[in-house]
Each structure stands twice: as structure tokens, then as C-alpha cells.
Amino acid sequence: MKPGVRVCVPSAAFLGLFCRGCLSRSRSWPGRSFSSLPRQMSRWNSQDTCSPPSPQENVRVLITGDANFHPSLILNVVIFLLMSRKQYGRDNVILSDIKKPPPHVYANGPFVYADVLDYKHLRELIVNNRITWLVHYSALLSAVGEANVALARKINITGLHNVLDLALENCLRLFVPSTIGAFGPSSPRDPAPDLCVQRPRTIYGVSKVHGELMGEYLHHKYGLDFRCLRYPGVISVNTPPGGGTTDYAVQIFHDALSTGHHECYLRPDTRLPMMHISDCHRATVEFMQAPECQLSLRTYNIAAMSFTPEEVAQEIRKHLPHLKVTYNPDTVRQTIADSWPVRFDDTNARRDWGWAPAFGLEELVSDMLRSIRDKRTNEGLPVS
């Protein structure tokens, strides 16, 4: 077998059931049509060989988003989308969501309606558009998920199962992001390695660990090309706070340039790993492009910097000395933050596929202040 070539060979007649070649027999069973059988049986219990696209076949990417449940993340998806289109072609990267996107998304390439809870429609999109890569961003974030556990379970777990089944059935390369929230209070915190005790205490974190383990299981058992990165807190000028525990690190820049005052919901010494959005997107693209033979893991930590609210405030004051920060810790978010790592160990990502961040704290602060100042000026808003 050539390096980097994936061949998925599902087990035959798993648990006494039948493979795809025997589907016609199922229709003759009294009182039991094939449509009532588990939907994933066509791949999970077949003898079909699954191989990746040939080098001559175009990569065709479907990106799932869910702006209705986490408006901040959809902007990250859009930026990732635009970066991908530069490499793979305008019509080969398709964004999907349940909510109408910003106008420039339509102008830059295909957009389709897709609900990750609608398995049949998602399957149609994958088949009709000849999708080879599936990038699954739909999720309910940490603090919002704690306020609506039932909805978080539905979006984060049922939606995940749908894309796992479809990726396996259609032999797709599947990317599912994970998070700093996949760790818990019993995890090593400084630094947190790729492999350790996790046991998170939020539904968001539990669903992400579930996704990591399901993807790894399907990779080892059936050869699914599952890939996952644990994102730290991601900081972007285009991303308004959307219910995440690390969102203060976005809001503080907007407040610094608007009112000159930021009230932080975490203690000043709460250290968490963070990353500039550009590094986050570049890591994702580079990871998806990495030959499979280079990957020793299916889930990797990626790191760039780690700072506290007070440290980022001090760096901002080098540019805006008038910034005032007050602290009013929110019990829910502070408890979540205290259960998370203060640093990521990303040694394996650096060794296996060459990960290296471009932004440190100094570069991040300069870029965020410059970008937000330009944005406010263009929108006719005052700048403090």
C-alpha cells in the first residue's frame, strides 16, 4: 500500500447481519423492510472497499455551520471557507447552514441550506455534490450549552452521529473540531497532553470527548479518515462573543476602543490557552492536507499562547494606556475556566505535520487593535 493511501475495509456480516451485496434479501423478510434497519448498515456492515479520491479527482468540501445556535462560530466558518476556496476553487467548497449568511458569502461561492439533524437531506447534499471532505463545525458552545443541556445534546451529539455515519458510508475525510473544554478538573493542566484523563463537566466538553472517541473508534475499526483538533480560545476581530468561556478575550478589544472600560467575568489570574483566528484556520487546512501516513493520532492539541485577563490588559495598555478593567467573576464561567488546562502541549502536532503558530500575544494584540480600529472607522463609529 502506498503511503498516505487509505483503504477502509468494514467487517463482513457484522453481528450476523449482511453486507451491501445481500440487501436484496432483506426486502423479502416478512414485516421488515430495509428502510427500517439502521441507516449506517450500508457501510458499517458491508464488504465494500473504501479508498480516498485519486490525486486527479478534485477535493470537494462541505462545511456545516449553525449560526442560529452559535452566531460567533459561523464567522469563523466563513473565513475558513474563503481560505479553502483560494486553494480548491470557488465551486468546490460549499458552506451550509440553517440560517441566511452574510451577503458576501453568496457572492464568493456556493451556499446551501442544511440542518445537521436532517440525515436524509445531508446525505443528498453529499451525494449530489460529490463531496470528498466534510468539515463539521455545528455545535452549541460551553456556557450556552449549560443553559440548555437538552438542545446541546441534540445538536452536539445527534448531529455528530449523522455526519459520522455519512462520512463512513461515503468514505469522506471528516474533520470535527474539539476544544479546550474536552478536559476536566482531573486532567493535567500545565500542560495538558494529547492523551490523558479528560472527564469534562460541561455538556459541551462531554459531547466533544464523545466525538473524539467515536471518530477514533471508527478509524481503527473501519478505516474512517477522521481528523480532530482541540482548539484553544480563538480570537477574531469578526467574531462577537457567542457564549464561550474565553469570549472575554475578544470583548476586551472592542471595549478598549469603544468605551475604554471592560468588565471581565473571570478572575484576573485565570490563565487559558488562546490562538489568533488566522493560526486556527491555517492549522485546520494544514492538518486536513497532511498525508494520513504522517498522523500518529486522530486528535491533536494545537497551541499558540496562554495568558490571563490581566496580562492581555497590560499588553493592550501599551497601545491604549487609558484602558480600565474591572473584575466581576461569573460563577458558571469561572467554574468552567478553573476546570480547563492553562496550557496545551502540542508537541505531537509540531512533530507529525509541522504545526507552528505565527501569532504570540504581542502580535495578536497589535493585529486586533489595528483591525477593530479600522472596522469601527469604516462603520463610522467612534474610536476611544
Where in the sequence numbering do the catalytic residues fall? 204
Strand partners, 95: 63, 111
Q: Work out the angle at residue 191's Cα, subtended by the Cα atoms of residues 187 and 196, and round it to the nearest 5 degrees.
A: 35
Q: What would the grid cell of residue 134 be?
A: 466534510
CA–CA separation, 192 vs 224, rounded Å?
A: 26
Residue type at position 105? V
Going from the C-alpha of 273 to that of each of 185, 232, 249, 305, 340, the distances in angstroms are: 15, 5, 11, 6, 9
Helix, strand, or coil (residue 354): coil
Helix, strand, or coil (residue 52): coil
CA–CA separation, 231 vs 210, rounded Å?
A: 16
Q: What would the grid cell of residue 282 be?
A: 491555517
CA–CA separation, 256 vs 253, rounded Å?
A: 5
Q: Which of 58, 35, 10, 370 is nearest to 219 (CA)?
A: 10
For residue 191, whether the previous peptide bond is cis, meaning omega lies within 30 degrees of 0, is: yes
Query: What are the counts of helices (DSSP H) followed by strands (DSSP E) for the chain?
Result: 15, 13
CA pseudo-torsion sign 261, 265, 269, 270: negative
